[in-house]
Amino acid sequence: MNNKVWIGIAIGAGIGIAFAVSSRSSRRSRWDRWDTREMTKRLVDSREDLLDKGKEMMERLRVIYEEGRKVVDDAGELWAQGRKLVRS
């Protein structure tokens, strides 16, 4: 009975190792993702989308910058008014 348990464990371990090796070899390695030819093809295929997204990002940054400037200007005015009130 004890031998049957060990044989079952060995068979299970063998199947597990075979499954792990087969699934690992079918995946792309980390360096395959950095293939320059493939990356340039993907960039060329999606360059219009990249340009549109870049323009949208720049527009949002411009709006954020302008709103931030307005907030700073308002804070400066409030600070000046507060100083005038304290001096009075």
pLDDT recorded at residue 22: 65
pLDDT recorded at residue 79: 93
Asked if the model's pLDDT at residue 24 lies above 80, the reply is no
Q: Which residues contact 50 (CB under 8 A, 6 or more apart)?
A: 43
Asked if the model's pLDDT at residue 14 lies above 80, the reply is yes
Asked if the model's pLDDT at residue 32 lies above 80, the reply is no
Asked if the model's pLDDT at residue 13 lies above 80, the reply is yes
Q: Which of the pair, 14 or 67, is modelled with greater confidence?
A: 67
Distance of alpha carbon 47 from alpha carbon 72, whole angstroms:
37
pLDDT recorded at residue 73: 93
pLDDT recorded at residue 76: 93
Q: pLDDT tens-digit profile of 34-60?
A: 777 877 887 788 888 888 888 999 999
